[in-house]
Amino acid sequence: MATNRTKVPRPLARQLFVETGHRCAIPTCRATPLEIAHIVPWHRVQRHDFHNMIVLCPNCHTRFDRGDIDRQAMFRYKELLRLSDPNRVAPDDPSPRAGLIRAYRLFQSEIIKWHKSISELVLAFTFSTGGFPTDNLKSCRTAASITRAATDKLSDLGDEAVAEAANYIFDWYRNWAHDVFDLKPSAFNGAGDNYDDWAQERFMAFVILHEELCAALDLDPTELDFFEAERSRQGLPKVPLGTCGFWETDE
Ligand SMILES: [Zn+2]
């Protein structure tokens, strides 16, 4: 081993461990404890690069160093990790599985936009004297119809339970938007005294959709990102993906 070898930075090490679910990267092994290996050896690259690094158990690491497992095979194992990570679906992956995950993420991002446009409508109305501002109404209607399309797509690709959960969320937002148009006071003050129930109902709908989607994909719900990782890294309270931090939970 070369001298002057720098330590693997902790965030990079964590990323590598998470990539394999804290198990040896060889799918038929999955043993622990773990070591971090460079696929092209350190003495040649002299740098720590995620794409050239992989987590192995001491036994597989030794077999790799001895050449029982060659470098091309190891790069293939690395590639398999990328392909099998449901959170890193390639935009051009034609499999039905990838299509369903992309439809889920699209649904979430459209819900965020719709949520924002309804909130902005509430705010604009509150500060205007002439009713609902036309621009806000227009963007709210556009967001609603795009979300309708995203909901239909997710429903088409998912099973019945996924479709039901996605439509429940769509209806939840449609009801909120209608209550705003109908000038129901509860729609303007976040359902007032009932705010917790109102927010909780929406949160549970996202949980159910996530669980049904993971069941359809034969994934454990923890294998597919549910909470926004970026916020957790910043030390902010966790919020479910697709909800944009509009409410917070203790989970
Ligand atoms: Zn191993």
4 CA distance to ligand 1 centroid (A)? 27
Q: What is the pLDDT of residues 88-145, one digit of tens each?
A: 777 777 889 889 999 999 999 899 899 999 989 988 888 877 788 889 999 999 999 9
Domain locations in the chain as residue ranges:
10-84, 96-233
Stretches where the chain sits below pLDDT 70 are 1-4, 189-193, 195, 229-233, 236-237, 243-251
Quick one: pLDDT at residue 192?
Answer: 62
168 CA distance to ligand 1 centroid (A)? 44
Q: What is the pLDDT of residues 157-173, one digit of tens each?
A: 999 999 999 999 999 99
How many Å apart are CA 23 and CA 19, to the nearest integer?
Answer: 9
- State the SS3 of the chain: CCCCCCCCCHHHHHHHHHHCCCCCCCCCCCCCCCEEEECCCHHHHCCCCHHHEEEECHHHHHHHHHCCCCHHHHHHHHHHHHHHCCCCCCCCCCCHHHHHHHHHHHHHHHHHHHHHHHHHHHHHHHCCCCCCCHHHHHHHHHHHHHHHHHHHHHHHHCCHHHHHHHHHHHHHHHHHHHHHHCCCHHHHCCCHHHHHHHHHHHHHHHHHHHHHHHHHHCCCCCCCCCECHHHHHCCCCCCECCCCCCCCCCC
Packing angle between helix 195-217 and helix 96-126, nearest 10 degrees? 170
How many Å apart are CA 134 and CA 149, to the nearest integer?
Answer: 23
Structure tokens at 162: 């996924």
Quick one: pLDDT at residue 20?
Answer: 87
Residue ranges near ligand 1 (ion) with Cβ within 5 Å: 24, 26, 29, 31, 57, 60
61 CA distance to ligand 1 centroid (A)? 7
Quick one: pLDDT at residue 249?
Answer: 45
Quick one: pLDDT at residue 245?
Answer: 56
Quick one: pLDDT at residue 59?
Answer: 97
CATH topology of domain 96-233: Four Helix Bundle (Hemerythrin (Met), subunit A) (1.20.120)
Quick one: pLDDT at residue 82?
Answer: 77
77 CA distance to ligand 1 centroid (A)? 12
Quick one: pLDDT at residue 250?
Answer: 44
58 CA distance to ligand 1 centroid (A)? 7
160 CA distance to ligand 1 centroid (A)? 39
44 CA distance to ligand 1 centroid (A)? 24
Report the predicted TM-score, pTM, of the whole model to 2 decimal places: 0.69
56 CA distance to ligand 1 centroid (A)? 5
79 CA distance to ligand 1 centroid (A)? 17
60 CA distance to ligand 1 centroid (A)? 4
215 CA distance to ligand 1 centroid (A)? 29
How many Å apart are CA 165 and CA 207, to the nearest integer?
Answer: 9
251 CA distance to ligand 1 centroid (A)? 34
